[in-house]
Amino acid sequence: MRKNSIKNTRVNAEVQRELSNILRGGIKDPRVAPMTSVVAVEVAPDLKTCKAYISVLGDEKMQQDTIKGLQSAEGYIRRELARTINMRNTPEIKFIMDQSIEYGVNISRKIDEVTRDLKKDGADE
């Protein structure tokens, strides 16, 4: 199976949807932040491994605690994933922190500051 085949794309989308549901409703670990979302999922073509890109709204410590909490709950998450998705193999999940949303918000804030300064300079002249 090619990496970007239609089947692999469908598996990625289904795993991402179910991971989001599990994180939203099933994790009771206090280390996992309530504002945690699954940004993307990459399941290997052999269905043995999975990279889950996680975004957390909060500071650096909250992000690290969330990753540790998710790693400790990986067994529970895999069991729930196997129960909800009918796949030959339930992939081993590796959680990776995704900084893209935070980066986008930071860039947007900087653009707003620059445009505000430009409007202020234009009004002074």
Task: Give the whole-angstrom CA distance, residue 23 versus residue 57.
Answer: 14
Average pLDDT value for residue range 9-33 = 88
Q: How far is CA 12 from CA 37, 119, 125, in A?
A: 15, 45, 55
Asked if the model's pLDDT at residue 124 lies above 70, the reply is no
Q: For residue 97, what is the enclosing H or E element?
A: strand 92-97
Task: Give the whole-angstrom CA distance, residue 84 versus residue 90.
Answer: 11
Per-residue model confidence (pLDDT) at position 14: 92
Here the tokens at position 12 are 């990625």
pTM of the model: 0.76
Per-residue model confidence (pLDDT) at position 52: 93
| pLDDT tens for each residue of 69-105 | 999 999 899 999 999 988 888 899 999 998 877 788 8
Nearest to 51 by CA among 10, 16, 4: 16
Quick one: pLDDT band at residue 1, thresholds 50, 70, 90?
very low
DSSP annotation of 90: P
Average pLDDT of the chain is 86
Q: How far is CA 5 from CA 1, 26, 107, in A?
A: 7, 31, 33
